[in-house]
Amino acid sequence: MILYDGVETMSLGGKSHAPTLTNLAEGQDRTVHYFQLFPNLLISPHPDYVMTHRLIPLAPNRTAVECEWLFSREAVEQENFDPSYASDFWDVTNRQDWHACESVQRGVNSRGYRRSPLSLARTPSTSSSPWSPTATWRARSPVPPAGSQKRQGSS
């Protein structure tokens, strides 16, 4: 994801309170990436920190999420360094995301739920990496993509 002009990082005010990470390639100081390492680790490098989410299954309907923010030594050694500019943003964002996930889970557990294929639409979050959940699902799905033709001789 490319940050808007005037936005330095993912924070409530769009400002960073840490130096940009060193050794970034051209353009990476304006980019946030989202990677999933199956089965339970999400890694999000930002221009000034790296955030991880580790998902810990507790029960079929319950998951603990452990979030960590990794800052450069230069940032941490700054006098009065306060990482809350990043963690406060993600606290709000994560709580909203978790609420949405809980709502989906309630729907899946309802008597009215009917199983159907996942959307084949590509979104920025699923098209950035071949290791996305959608790409993994597609690789194993017996449902052909929309508009595809069955090959002759196949059942």
Taking the domains of the chain in order of start, what are their residue ranges?
A: 1-99
Q: What does each C-alpha distance from 106 to 58, 65, 79, 111 come to in angstroms?
A: 17, 19, 46, 10
Q: Which of 65, 119, 112 is nearest to 93 (CA)?
A: 65
Contact (Cβ atoms closer than 8 angstroms) between residue 128 and residue 42: no
Alpha-carbon distance of 89 to 101, in angstroms, equals 18
Residue 137, pLDDT score: 36
Count how many Cα atoms sit within 13 Å of the Cα of residue 63 in the half-sphere of its side chain: 17
How does pLDDT run across 107-140, given as a tens digit for each residue? 888 888 888 777 666 555 544 444 434 333 333 3
CA max distance for the chain = 70
Q: Which of 67, 64, 62, 75 is nearest to 21 (CA)?
A: 75
Tell me which of 58 and 61 has the higher pLDDT. 58
